[in-house]
Amino acid sequence: MAGTKLFNSLGLCQRAGKCQSGAFAVERAVKAQKAKLVLLEETASQETKDRLSSLCAGRGIPLKLVPQVGQAIGREGHVVMAVTDRQFANMILDAWASESEVGG
């Protein structure tokens, strides 16, 4: 399971309505330059990882692999989310970084 701080940050972002989830919605947000951060579940297919990595890299949007994105936002079947608010993106990146340091 994702660390508590990261997991809670993702849920808070969802409840605040500052994210899009699901492949189609995320791709649309990235192409429209509305995404500030894209989070992809570690278990996503390689094709999905490659497609989103290419899309995000071309637009300068950070992409991070995290465990259990769908569970954190209350949408079990979703493996990808785009954060559409800069402050939430920064909060999530901080949580991700602190958990990466602890775990690694």
| In the chain, where the domains are located | 4-103
pLDDT of residue 103: 54
CATH of domain 4-103: 3.30.1330.30
pLDDT tens digit sequence for 25-52: 999 999 999 999 999 998 899 999 999 9
Exposed, middle or buried: residue 82 (CB in 10 Å: 0-12, 13-18, 19+)? Answer: buried
The pTM for the full model equals 0.89
